[in-house]
């Protein structure tokens, strides 16, 4: 199966949202998938079921970090033959 990209953004409704968001990003880091952290969301590359499992774990990590309410937005981008983070951003990174 070809790789796809999944982006997700967690919005913890709490006093210190940045430390809670960091816990969700730690889940992604530990997963071993290719990813990039952006200013509003984290984008991952891999197999759909695995990426959605990571999103779920990241969402739950926010509660474990003390959030009482969390909003999570998810974007899935797929294409015949797959898609990658690199192909989406290459033209912006060329010098």
Helix axes 48-64, 17-31, angle to 10 degrees: 150
Prediction pTM value = 0.91
The span from the CA of 46 to the CA of 18, in Å, is 26
**Domains identified in the chain and CATH numbers:** 4-93 (3.30.70.930)
pLDDT of 82 reads: 86
Q: Which of 42, 76, 34 is nearest to 58 (CA)?
A: 42
% of the chain surpassing 90 pLDDT: 80
Q: Which of 19, 11, 10 is nearest to 54 (CA)?
A: 10
- Model confidence pLDDT, tens digit, residues 21-53: 999 999 999 999 999 999 999 999 999 999 999
């Amino acid at each position: 199966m070809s790789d796809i990209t999944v982006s997700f953004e967690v919005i913890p409704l709490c006093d210190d949202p940045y430390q809670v968001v960091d816990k969700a990003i730690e889940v992604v880091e530990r997963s071993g998938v290719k990813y990039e952290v952006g200013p509003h969301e984290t984008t991952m590359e891999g197999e759909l079921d695995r990426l959605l499992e990571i999103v779920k774990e990241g969402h739950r990590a926010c509660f474990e970090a003390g959030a009482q309410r969390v909003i999570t937005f998810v974007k899935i981008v797929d294409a015949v033959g797959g898609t990658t983070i690199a192909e989406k951003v290459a033209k912006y990174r060329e010098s």
